[in-house]
Structure formats: structure tokens, C-alpha cells
Amino acid sequence: MSPDDASRADAPVRDLVVIGASAGGVPVLLDLAAALPAHFPACVLVALHVGAHRSLLPELMGARGPLPARHAQDGEPLRPGVILVAPPDHHMLVQDGVVRLNRGPRENHARPAIDPLFRSAALARGPRVIGVVLSGRLDDGSAGLQAIKRCGGLALVQDPDDAECPDMPASARRHVEVDACVPAAALARCLQDLVGAPLPAHPPPLPADIATDQAISTGAGDPMEHLNAIGHPSRFSCPECAGVLWEIDGARPRRYRCHTGHGFTLRALAKTQDEATEDALWGAMRALQEREALLRERAVDAREADTGAEASGDDLLTRAERTAVLGEQLRSMIEAG
């Protein structure tokens, strides 16, 4: 082998595949595991929106194909031919050639979330990364796929027309100049064609704003300084911690962060606030029901105390009935959406 051949053999190649999926993504992941060959020359990292619920995804993927699959462990190295899945209630990140797990702030109301994985992989491995966004609701993954492209990596999406829930791949395709948009059945072949390819001779420098965004999410450095560097205060509060949200300058889709690290796209923020508003309204409904019950109890006590208190008891009963009417009106409003 000539020195030039040896140099090319040792040169970095595209060897890290990061995949984000949510609703409707599990069948695609299982078919992908079945179609990837043994000795696949890249490490595959998967973030699926499972929250804190128990997940059997690694066992299912491992049973469908030749590649070993397991929940990632903090600190384990990235090895080719292995599928690592983010454990429930943990973000999975790439740092210094290993996997890092944490229970950091939720992003887009999810942990594990897709954007933290994609963003960290882009910063750690640059053009060596291939990002894939599969079926799912809302738009987690769009900002992360942008980060991968800006750091020189490749961006793939499942064809929205082929996805059970087309929101996530459609958003990614709308906001990222993707390298391929393929149906699920073609994904494994597409990845095999791309992994192992040599990198561009002059990869782009790592954008400072992506590193700052990541520092906010991991709690590194001064959060207010970071927020002011990449955004400006908005008129919205964080539905997770009630802090002020900063709007990220120029972000598309529009994105927000608070100083504790929670992150949202505009659509995810609206969805989360919808849920918080409904919870608050049901709390108000409970308070009205308790107030009605207490007023009725007080009316009984007032009437039983002495005859002079009967008028007071009637007044309390009237107030209880008015409260009951308010409660029914509020229930009707909640149920009407």
C-alpha cells in the first residue's frame, strides 16, 4: 500500500448515523434494523420519544436484524455496527467520542429529545454525521438536522407521504436542505450508500451559535450571557419552569429557550401551553366544586346554630348555587375546547 493509500485509509469517513423518531416511527426503526447488514460500518444512535415509560425498542431492533442493539450507557464509546437507543427519561448526547446521558431540561416537552442528540453529534463529529428524521408529530428534529447540515453532515428524512405522522419529516424537509427524502423501505439502502464515504476536503467551521445553544441545554457557562448572545427576550413564559423565554434570533422554525435550558419550537410551545392551560382550568373547576361544597356546609351550620342565623344560611346557600352555576359554565367551556 502506498503512503497515499494508507493516508486515505486512515482518513475520517461518514461513520455516525443519528436517527430521531416519534409517533409512527417504531415500525420504521424495526424494518431498518432488519435491513441493515452485519458489520455496518457506522454507529447508529436512536432517539425515540418514549418519555419516562419503559421501552423494549432495543430488544425489538436486536431481534429483527444482525446488529446488536441496546440502551446506551453513559460513557460508552461509539463503535461501528452497534445500535444504541436513548434510555427512557434521558437525553443522549455525543461528546469526545463517547455517549453521554443526562436528565437535563426537556426540549420540545420531550426527554429523550431529538434535537439535543443531533446538535451534540454535529458539534462532536461534524461532517462524519448522517442525520435522519422519521415519522412523528410537531417538529422536534428540524433544528437538530439544521445543525448537522451546517456542520458539514448529511440530512435525510422519511418521505412525509410515507410516514404515519408526517409532521416531523415535513418540517425538516421544509426547513433544511435535505440530501435525501426517501420512503422507509429505501432508508437502509440509502444509508449503506452514504456511510463510509470520504469527507469533504474543507469542512465548514463549527458555528458558534450551535455551540452556545448546546451550552444552554447542558447548563454550561453563564446562561443569561448565552441567551443574550443568540436571542432576545420574548413575551412568553416557559411552561416548564415559568421563566422568561428568549426567542432564538433568525431560527426557522421559530424557537425559544429559558435560562434553565428548556427549549421549544413555536408549535411545541403552543402545544405545551395548551396542555398547561387545560390543567389550570381543571384546577379552577376543582376549586369551584370545593367552594360550593364548603358554602353548603356553612349554610347548614348557620341554620343549626340559632334562628337568628337563618338569613345568613340562606345567603350562603345562594352563593353556593351561584358557584355551582359558574362551575358548570367552566366545565362546558373546557369540554368545548
Active site positions, annotated: 22, 49, 140
Scan for cell 446488536, then name that residue. Answer: 68
Question: Which helix (H) or strand (E) covers residue 47, if one does?
Answer: strand 43-48
| Angle, CA 22 vertex, CA 19 and CA 28 arms, to 5° | 65
51 CB-near residues (< 8 Å, 6+ apart): 88, 89, 110, 111
Q: Which DSSP string do the residues of 179-196 spell out, in sequence order?
A: SEEE-GGGHHHHHHHHTT
The x, y and z cell numbers of residue 315, run together, are 345567603
Three-state secondary structure of 251-279 = CCCCEEECCCCCEEEHHHHHHHHHHHHHH
CA distance linking residue 101 with residue 99, whole number of Å: 7
Helices then strands, each counted (H, E), the chain: 11, 13
Closest CA to 296 of 317, 311, 268: 317
CA distance linking residue 145 with residue 259, whole number of Å: 23
| Angle, CA 18 vertex, CA 17 and CA 21 arms, to 5° | 135
Let me know: does 225 contact 235? Beta carbons within 8 Å. Answer: no
Let me know: does 129 contact 151? Beta carbons within 8 Å. Answer: yes
